Amino acid sequence: MIDERGFKDVLSNWTSGVGIVTSCLNQIPYGMTVSSFTSVSVSPLLISICVQNRYRMCSIIGKTHCFAVNILGCNQAVLAKKFSDSQLSPEERFEGLHWQNFAARSPIIPESIAWLDCKLFDYWIIGDHTIFVGQAINGFVTGESQPLLYYQRNWYKPVLLAHANREQENLQGAAP
């Protein structure tokens, strides 16, 4: 039987990208680091994020009905750590950042490698998390960096396996 610690250890072996989810309430920007972000649909254009119910971001998104996902580059681990620090106020997290607003009014971090601006499409409270589904209304890819990765509770930069495609072709053509 698996316990909570074992469950988290298993999940830490799943590599994911890193983003900062943002929203703005009463002209105060809010943001938090996430690795639980995925595409849901292309018709309509939907993504999902998972947020612990005890985090302030749950109530912020519930009130604003919008959020953005700012996808971080491999040179932004310090920013990811800053936005994951629960001791920092919203103002401290955004200190020194020159963020912008677009249609959904959520803060966009221009230094991110890509971003999606979303309006809330639906949500579900499941266990100790809320799954928010957002409909993308705007987005942009800068293409300026490789993504920041999170694996076994550490930050990583991707490494291209130069011959991965050729090796895969060889495996597919080999007799069993």
Q: Residue 84 above 70 pLDDT?
A: yes
Neighbouring-strand partners of residue 34: 19
Q: What's the pLDDT band for 103 if we cut at 50, 70, 90?
A: confident
Q: How confident is the model at residue 161 (pLDDT cuts 50, 70, 90)?
A: confident
Q: What pTM was estimated for this model as a whole?
A: 0.87
Domain boundaries, given as residue ranges, for the chain: 4-173
CA neighbor of 47 nearest in space, from 165, 110, 116, 133: 133
**pLDDT higher than 80, residue 145:** yes
Residue 7 pLDDT exceeds 60: yes
Residue 164 has pLDDT above 80, yes or no: no
- 112's CB contacts (< 8 A; 6+ apart) are 19, 20, 70, 71, 72, 73, 76, 142
C-alpha 20/C-alpha 108 separation (Å) is 9
| Residue keyed to tokens 């020194």 | 96
- With cut-offs at 50, 70 and 90, classify the pLDDT of residue 82: very high
Per-residue pLDDT tens digits for 120-136: 999 999 999 999 999 99
At residue 60, the 3 state secondary structure works out as helix
Looking at residue 171, its pLDDT comes to 54
43-81 pLDDT per residue, tens: 999 999 999 999 999 999 999 999 999 999 999 999 999
Place of tokens 């074992």: 6
Report the residue count for the chain. 176
What top-level class would CATH report for the domain 4-173?
A: mainly beta
| pLDDT exceeds 70 at position 174 | no
- Whole-number average pLDDT of the chain: 90
* Residue 90 amino acid letter: P
- What residue has token string 């997290």? 93
Half-sphere exposure for 47 (CA within 13 Å, toward CB): 22
In this structure, are residues 58 and 44 in contact, taking their beta carbons and an 8 Å threshold? Answer: no
